[in-house]
Structure 1
Amino acid sequence: MRKFNLLVLNEWLKISKKRSNIIPYVILLVLSLAVGYMTRTFAADMYASAADFTADSLQPRGIGQLLAILVIVGTAGIVSREYSQGTIKFLLIRARSRTAILASKYVTVLLYTLSMQVVATVGLFLSGAVFFGLSGGEAGIGEILTSLLYSTVYCTVYATIGFMLGILTKSTGVTIGATIFATTIDKLVISREFYKYVLFPNLNLAAYKDGGAPMQGMTLTFSIILLCIYMTLFLLAGFAVFRRRDVA
């Protein structure tokens, strides 16, 4: 376990040492303030408190979608860049299994996703406190945590898709382009029975809030099960290809 933790730490340092690493976090903080200011200016009655503002803005239809894009851009090259830079050979000659190496990279992706979520939540709450105050409103810590959970699931699925594509294509550009394209069409709804089994309509779990549903016949449990199935398939495909690929 200690050796695996060192692998994760090494991968995290690779990300954190990049000069551009701080940019996504700054974007989130600045955007949080900008959204709060614009909302206060043009729709002052929309939110009654910082909690209301934070809980609503975190959802995938709000800043949550930008969060997914930032996570994709930040982690898309975690595998593919090893191939393009030729460092994959040095990585694999270490006394570590390919499974452990790839698993450490995926854990790092999850940690990066979580760190982005935390920064977004803090930034939105501070912005809400400045522009809407701390008292009043209907939302509380429970609603904020629920929205954070929905956003984390949404971003994690896309991070996993990007992780898989990076392994399959070995191209950071293709990975970023394909995954961001997916985020632009995931709100599309096709009124056909089969579509509820597709990944996209199941991504936004916030749609079940207040008894709603993305499509007729769908439930929260149904979407969670499908997301687990898709995530498992994505990871199995990625690990299978990585373990068998010849890098000589």
Structure 2
Amino acid sequence: MRNMTGLVHNEWLKLTKKKSFWVSPGLLAALTVLVTVMLYRFSANVAGIESGIAYAAGMLGASGTGQFVTVLSVVATAGIVAQEYAQGTIKFLLIRSRSRGEILVSKYLAVVLYILMMTVISFAVLFIAGGVTFGFGGTGEQWIEALKQGAYGFIYSLVYASLAFMVGVLTRSSGVSIGAGLIGTMFGAIVIQKDFYKYVLLPNADLSVYGTSGPPLPGMTVGFSLTVSAVYVALFLLAGYTVFRRRDIA
């Protein structure tokens, strides 16, 4: 456990040392404030919002700032494996007394931590911007709903970041991995009215729809979508691990 903690810490340090590390969080905060100002000034849909936490609950999903979190997280972390190949540093990682599985898991956990950081930043900025605009009141139910929507947004981002992570391992290309993650978010809202489509990843990744428009297809529930998403993420990680473990680095 201590070894894994050290590996994750090292991977996190690699991310933080990049000059572009704070670009995504800064851009996320700026976009969130801009959207809040635009909605307040030009949209009638915010008329019934009672507090900053209620505003955050309504904006944390994939149809709101959750989409920003996903896109920015994919762009920032999708190449975490591919860049090691491009820079030639993958050989130095593998000659140390660490298994390939430990190295890959530590990189994935760093991605998870980055998404969590972005989700927390989105939550905080939405609450503050919403509080300044609509007031800092709020009920316990609104807080619970906001936390639930934040969790849904985190899962949505994690699904597509996991897809990009796998593609990065398979192709060793940052551009292809970023493209795969972004294409997934672009087509995620498409729903094909066929029974088989409920087993496809795309309509299951965004859990926030269950509180707004309802199930994408008959028979789908939050639990069903969580299970389908978990299966796909597990398959992504298994495919990435299998290829990474067997690939010749020389």
TM-score by length of 2: 0.95
Output aligned runs, 1:118-129, within 5 Å. Answer: 118-129=120-131
Letter in 2 for 1:63: T
- RMSD, aligned CA: 1.5
Q: Deviations over 1:57-94 (max 9, x none)?
A: 10111111111010101101110000011101111000
Output aligned runs, 1:1-248, within 5 Å. Answer: 1-43=1-43, 44-135=46-137, 140-209=142-211, 212-248=214-250
Q: Deviations over 1:88-115 (max 9, x none)?
A: 1111000000000111001111001100
Residue 48 (structure 1) shift: 1.9
Letter in 2 for 1:80: A
Residue 39 (structure 1) shift: 1.3
Residue 41 (structure 1) shift: 0.7
Residue 138 (structure 1) shift: 8.9
- Using the alignment, how far apart are the partners of 2:206 and 2:125 within structure 1? 22
- Using the alignment, how far apart are the partners of 1:216 and 1:138 within structure 2? 31
Letter in 2 for 1:94: R
Aligned length: 248
8 Å CA contact 2:54, 2:143 repeated in 1: no
Letter in 2 for 1:241: V
TM-score by length of 1: 0.96
Q: Deviations over 1:157-211 (max 9, x none)?
A: 1111111010001000111112101111110011111111100111111122279
- Using the alignment, how far apart are the partners of 2:145 and 2:215 within structure 1? 18
- Using the alignment, how far apart are the partners of 1:187 and 1:241 within structure 2? 30
SS in 2 for 1:60: coil
8 Å CA contact 2:36, 2:130 repeated in 1: yes
SS in 2 for 1:21: coil
8 Å CA contact 2:163, 2:180 repeated in 1: no
Structure 2 unpaired stretches of 5+: none
Tell which deviates more after alignment, 209-218 or 185-194: 209-218
Residue 136 (structure 1) shift: 5.5
Letter in 1 for 2:241: F
- Using the alignment, how far apart are the partners of 1:18 and 1:221 within structure 2? 38
Letter in 2 for 1:233: L
Tell which deviates more after alignment, 212-221 or 186-195: 212-221
Provide the identity percentage. Answer: 46
8 Å CA contact 1:199, 1:227 repeated in 2: yes
8 Å CA contact 1:55, 1:139 repeated in 2: no
Letter in 2 for 1:216: P
- Using the alignment, how far apart are the partners of 1:188 and 1:46 within structure 2? 29
Residue 212 (structure 1) shift: 2.3
- Using the alignment, how far apart are the partners of 1:20 and 1:241 within structure 2? 29
Letter in 2 for 1:182: G
- Using the alignment, how far apart are the partners of 1:136 and 1:235 within structure 2? 40
SS in 2 for 1:196: helix
Letter in 2 for 1:101: I
- Using the alignment, how far apart are the partners of 1:87 and 1:67 within structure 2? 28
